[in-house]
Amino acid sequence: MRSDSDRTTPSTNEAEDRTLVRGGDRLFMEALIVALTTPQHSFVLDSSSGNVDAEIPPFDVVLLVASVRDMDVAAHIRRTRRQLPHCKIVLVGVRCTQEELLTYIEHGVHAYVSGDEPLDNVAHALRGVREGKTFCSQWFAGRVFARVAELSSGRAEKATTWRLSAREQEIVQLVADGLSNKEIATSLNLSEFTVKNHIYRVMKQVDAETQHEAVTLIGAGHHLRREDWHGLSSGSAD
């Protein structure tokens, strides 16, 4: 096992799969490396906060060890992404909350193994991310699906508060039908500026960045069917 203080340029006889290990407790990381090292898979310990040694080829996988509760895991993930932007991060360590887990995923974690899971799960996670997969324990999957369900529920509740005028409803339907702003203006005998203004107000209301995203969101909220238009509150014609 090598630490960050005695790295050397790897020889051609070294294992093909090499993982950079970094994080909190050094003794824990060293024990983890001893347990995981195989003839086909070697590890390099990097407990420093500096840049990865330029003499070592970029690592495609980083094992981030969060073995202490007060460790700023999100900061470690962000730093790793800055230093090795193309790497895949496997996080292992203390059990985190659902909100923490989603934050880590947003920052770039590809797999998570809690400290109370079998050691084999860490090996499976490292192998999986190299194959383009995301290792997912039952606990991990449960937290992610629960969060997605919460987000979906929140979006559905928000959708029920959308209030489109009769003209906005009509324009959204024409956008969904594939008409351009100019074609919509001609069809409704409006100026193109007026059409754009209506679309802008719709985008703001449903919190969309583009008119096509707005159409998708409204459709997902079951407001895009013509037979449902009258179920929405209406405003002025223009």
Tally Cβ neighbours within 10 Å of residue 142. 12
> CATH 3.40.50.2300 in the chain, residues?
17-152
DSSP 3-state assignment of 15?
coil
The predicted pLDDT at position 12 comes to 41
DSSP 3-state assignment of 156?
helix
> CATH 1.10.10.10 in the chain, residues?
160-231
pLDDT tens string 65-94: 987 777 888 888 888 888 888 889 999 987
Structural contact between residues 76 and 22, judged by C-beta atoms closer than 8 angstroms: yes
Q: What is the CATH number of domain 160-231?
A: 1.10.10.10
* Fold adopted by 17-152: Rossmann fold (3.40.50)
Label the pairing between strands 109-114 and 41-45. unpaired
Tell whether the model's pLDDT for residue 142 goes beyond 70.
yes
DSSP 3-state assignment of 22?
strand
% the chain with pLDDT above 90: 11
**Please, what is the average pLDDT of the chain?**
75
**Terminal alpha carbon distance of the chain:** 72
Tally Cβ neighbours within 10 Å of residue 84. 18
Label the pairing between strands 88-93 and 41-45. unpaired
Distance CA 150, CA 147 (A): 5
